[in-house]
């Protein structure tokens, strides 16, 4: 099997862009990745294009990648469309990695672009429900209600707003947080500490959608969304794109001044029908990733974790093995996950602050790790960064993600 390297990265700031479309953003990051790699578009052997909502919002279904890439002069090569909810972009990278590793191609583009902001806010928020089992949606809501009734956490009267103005995923994450609080005694203040840390990281990132620092007190005082989550703890709606170019070791040797990042492991998996106390998808997949990479969680220098809410980061910190179960909030409070701590998490600001345009988020994680491993992260640089992990979940069925990708990257 071939070794696989990332040689080019591109990303635009995630934000709300009323005057931009999916193609426009995809073109920009592809050109950035090609320039970063030092190759021309003619060098590409294949491409994988991730997007979730273009068809829903603009009726562009079926051939999204072909439409986006041919309009910038990339044609004839195999183009595969990838739709895997929030894990779409990381899945595109996994597929690009797999083809290079198998020797099918030498140079492959992984690209994710998404436009979610819309004048009709209800349409934007409602679209997220398509990332669940819509045929059994009512049964899923009843399951959540039943689980909620078993928790010991009482929801304050002033933090029980109606279910409008948020995506259904916020309710799912809130349920997970209340489960964790009931089982382990974690607190809303711990979630606020995670969020405040990410806002500080985001304030150092010029590509972050939110760039303002926030204190723990300010996070707690923000508008309630679904207890224990406040607005600041939840990822914003936005638009964006990110791209990566991967290649084989033999092609890497042909480049004049490469700045490669080796993909030590790339794992894609699917959730199960486990109960709340069953083995989590992240725990299952990260064991595979560590086994492929030949290392353990203590060797990871930094990580980008899927924090669509602050609870997402708390949970995944535990699932990735960075701290014992039940101690994710304590781990953050002690400063271990902050830049300067022993194992910084979400130095980009995470989904909470960098933003979460679904089809691009997974590659945005890879972009951040790439900057860090190259030593190009500026004010948020993690000293001596050599190994980085990215965990990117997608959709939801039952109590966990429908899909998930985990990548482990190494400084080249």
Q: Active-site positions? A: 86, 356
Give, in order, the Cα–Cα distances in Å from 80 to each of 40, 41, 106, 172: 20, 17, 16, 31
Which of 65, 347, 314, 308 shows the shortest CA–CA distance to 199? 347
Alpha carbon 330 to chain centroid, angstroms: 23
Alpha helices in 130-225 (DSSP H): 137-148, 168-184, 188-203, 216-221
CB-CB contact of 364 with 407 (8 Å): no
Nearest-10 Cα torsion for 341, 344, 345, 346:
110
The CA angle 278-304-300, to the nearest 5 degrees, is 85
- Report how far residue 87's alpha carbon sits from residue 83's, in angstroms, rounded to the nearest whole number: 8
- For residue 47, give the H/E element and its range: strand 46-50
For the sheet containing 46-50, what is the strand order? 79-82, 46-50, 107-115, 239-248, 4-11, 261-270, 403-411, 387-394, 302-304
164 CA to centre of own chain: 25
């Amino acid at each position: 099997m071939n070794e696989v390297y990332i040689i080019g990265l591109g990303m635009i700031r995630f934000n709300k862009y009323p005057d931009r479309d999916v193609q426009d953003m995809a073109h920009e990051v592809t050109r950035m990745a090609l320039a970063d790699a030092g190759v021309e578009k003619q060098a590409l052997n294949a491409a994988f294009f991730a997007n979730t909502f273009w068809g829903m919002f603009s009726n562009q279904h079926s051939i999204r990648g072909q439409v986006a890439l041919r309009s910038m002069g990339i044609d004839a090569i195999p183009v595969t469309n990838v739709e895997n909810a929030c894990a779409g972009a990381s899945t595109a990278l996994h597929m690009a990695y797999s083809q290079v590793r198998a020797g099918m191609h030498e140079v492959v583009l992984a690209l994710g672009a998404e436009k979610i902001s819309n004048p009709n806010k209800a349409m934007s928020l409602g679209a997220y429900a398509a990332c669940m089992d819509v045929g059994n949606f009512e049964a899923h809501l009843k399951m959540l209600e039943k689980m909620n009734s078993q928790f010991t956490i009482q929801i304050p009267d002033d933090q029980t707003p109606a279910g409008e103005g948020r995506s259904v995923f916020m309710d799912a994450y809130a349920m997970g947080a209340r489960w964790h609080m009931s089982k382990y005694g974690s607190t809303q203040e711990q979630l606020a500490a995670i969020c405040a840390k990410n806002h500080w990281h985001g304030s150092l990132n010029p590509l972050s959608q939110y760039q303002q620092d926030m204190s723990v007190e300010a996070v707690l005082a923000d508008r309630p969304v679904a207890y224990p989550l406040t607005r600041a703890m939840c990822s914003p709606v936005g638009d964006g794109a990110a791209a990566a170019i991967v290649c084989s070791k033999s092609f890497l040797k042909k480049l004049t001044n490469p700045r490669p990042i080796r993909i030590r492991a790339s794992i894609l998996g699917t959730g199960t029908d486990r109960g709340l106390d069953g083995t989590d998808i992240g725990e299952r997949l990260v064991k595979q990733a560590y086994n492929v990479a030949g290392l353990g969680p203590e060797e990871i220098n930094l990580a980008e974790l899927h924090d669509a809410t602050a609870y997402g980061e708390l949970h995944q910190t535990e699932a990735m093995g960075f701290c014992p179960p039940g101690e994710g909030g304590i781990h953050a409070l002690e400063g271990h996950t902050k830049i300067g701590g022993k194992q910084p998490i979400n130095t980009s600001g995470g989904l909470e602050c960098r933003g979460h345009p679904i089809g691009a988020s997974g590659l945005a994680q890879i972009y951040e790790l790439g900057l860090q491993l190259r030593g190009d992260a500026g004010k948020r640089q993690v000293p001596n960064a050599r190994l980085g992990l990215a965990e990117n979940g997608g959709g939801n069925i039952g109590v966990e993600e429908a899909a998930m990708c985990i990548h482990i990257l190494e400084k080249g």
